[in-house]
Amino acid sequence: MFKRKILEKYKPRNVFTPLIIVILSCSSLIIINYLTIKILSASRAYVNGESHYSKGQKDAARHLITYLYTKDPIQWKLFNEELSVPKGDGIARIGLTNNDDINTIENGLRAGRNHEKDLDDMVWLFRHFHAVPFLAKAINEWKKADYLIDQLASIGNEANKKISGNTSKSDDRQKILQRINIITDKLTINQRNFSDALGEGTRLIKTYLLFTNIFFTLMIIGSVSLYYSVMVNRLRRSKQETDDKNRNLIIANKELDKFVYSASHDLRSPISSLKGLIEIVKLEDDLDQIRDYLDLMHQSLDKQDQFIREIIDYSRNKRKKITVASVSLNKVIDEIIAQHLYIKGTNEIAIKKELSVDEVYSDGLRLKIILNNLLSNAIKYTDESKEKKYISIKTYTKGEFYKIEIEDNGIGINNEYHVKIFEMFFVTNNNKKGSGLGLYLVKEAVENLNGSISVNSKMNIGSKFIVTIPKQYEAQL
């Protein structure tokens, strides 16, 4: 009983904890992967937007140069159309930085020839992650490029003014061309840095994603393994408990069959004896002989009374759960001795008590069953041939155990019966007074307390029974 309680104390208290971890890990994986995909998608959109930005700027520069030499107004128009692509992205950047109206931002991105389905992701990434190092670096390059785009627009306006006024000279064209090339070279560097920053960020994100997935996957595998282990252990424990219960049921059924047979015999035997003695008494006129017959009747009734008490103890020991409380051994022993004083010859027995331990924490009912049966046997089986009869009762502690010793100088028990005396209804050849149930009850009560009992006995010398009970019950109070 005590071992089972200890095991229950250490078994997992919540089998659903691993499942909760699995659910949380899976949810985290889903959210993290979704956000990662969204970030990578938005980064891809920015890289794609940068290609439109770069192409628009280069085409605008090409049309401007052509316009310088051909003075074709179509080239001026194409210059402005192509330059509107990086200008649109610049408007979107300023709007995102200043947290402007979403329509203004999206119109700027549309002007930058970004795909309609990418606009939400691009706005979301900028607003939520603009302070992240890789994106902050890319935005800074974007800002520098927008400044150069403004310079390119100014150069274009200056060139158009001179061409429109017919004041353009060969030297002016060379200077404007040189300025356009310088700006284009700078923009190329900015655009490359922008793409490199986003590429570095996406590679870093993929690395983090890999490690995150590995971590949560291991969490899921570990939790599932733990849950599986817990369930297998519970199933194994359940199967073990079922097997134990089946074995106990088989033993109980066998004991019940034996109990019913022996109980019916032992209950009827004193009644048959009484009926026989009554018939004899009816025919007897000698008063002394009648008294002898009455003594025999009394013995039969005592035997039946004892047997009924043992049956009651057997039932209570089987049904009642262990109840731990403070028990006074001295008080229990005195009560038992008082109950047996009426038995013939008890007053001739010297009962000695050496109680080093009085108060113990244990089950009072089982202790009474143990002490009552052991003291009852010690009184019942005294050696009438001995002049000095005694019963010695000792209690003490040894390590983590209580010890109870009951010793007598009665008739003793043959060595061959030392193991069998604890079996149900076992009666030795020289034992005509007992039912064979008492020591069985003692052993069962001791085992219920997670203790043990030993016997040392010799014929015509006496017997010593030692009961050992663990102290661990103190921790349950």
Query: First-to-last CA distance in the chain?
Result: 15
CB-count burial class (<10 Å; 0-12, 13-18, 19+) for 36:
middle
pLDDT at residue number 259: 55
Report the distance separating Cα 306 and Cα 39, nearest Å: 88
Cα–Cα distance measured from residue 469 to residue 7, given in angstroms and rounded to the nearest whole number: 19
Residue 386 near residue 452, CB atoms below 8 Å: no
Compute the distance between CA of residue 473 and CA of residue 227 in angstroms, rounded to an integer.
33
pLDDT tens track of the chain, all 477 residues? Answer: 444 443 444 444 566 777 788 788 888 888 888 888 888 888 888 889 899 999 999 999 999 999 988 889 999 999 999 999 999 999 999 999 998 999 999 999 999 999 999 999 999 989 988 898 988 999 999 999 999 999 999 999 988 888 888 776 777 788 888 999 999 999 999 989 988 988 888 888 888 878 888 888 888 887 777 777 777 888 888 888 888 888 877 876 665 555 554 455 455 556 666 667 677 777 777 777 777 767 777 666 665 566 566 566 556 555 567 778 888 988 888 888 877 776 777 788 889 999 999 899 888 888 888 888 888 888 888 888 888 889 999 999 998 899 999 999 988 888 888 878 888 767 765 555 556 677 888 888 888 888 999 999 888 899 999 999 998 654 444
Residues near 112 by Cβ (< 8 Å), separated by ≥ 6? Answer: 49, 52, 53, 56, 85, 86, 88, 89, 92
Answer whether 324's CB lies under 8 Å from 361's CB: yes
pLDDT confidence of residue 290? 77
* CB-based contact 67:163 (threshold 8 Å): yes
Give the pLDDT confidence score for residue 408 in this predicted structure: 93
Q: Distance between CA 407 and CA 110 in Å, rounded?
A: 105
pLDDT given at position 288:
75
Q: Rounded distance, CA 212 to CA 223, Å?
A: 16
Contact 322, 359 (CB under 8 A): no
Pairing of strands 349-355, 389-398: parallel
Q: CA-to-CA distance for 351 and 411, rounded, in angstroms?
A: 17
- The residue assigned the tokens 């089986």 is 381
Count of Cβ atoms closer than 10 Å to residue 308 Cβ: 14
Stated as kind and residue range, the H or E segment containing 11 is none
- Nearest residue to 153 (alpha-carbon basis) of 205, 258, 79, 227: 79
Q: Please name the residue that has the structure tokens 């066998």.
A: 254
Q: What is the reported pLDDT for 201? A: 84
pLDDT at 282: 74
Q: Could you give the strand order of the β-sheet that contains 401-408, starting from the edge strand earlier in sequence?
A: 349-355, 389-398, 401-408, 462-470, 452-458
What's the one-letter identity of residue 416?
E
Q: How far is CA 175 from its chain centroid?
A: 80
Joined together, the tokens standing for residue 305 give 């009374």
Pairing of strands 389-398, 401-408: antiparallel
The Cα 395–Cα 187 span in angstroms is: 100
Prediction pTM value: 0.49
Q: What is the pLDDT of residue 229?
A: 79
Q: What is the pLDDT of residue 231?
A: 78
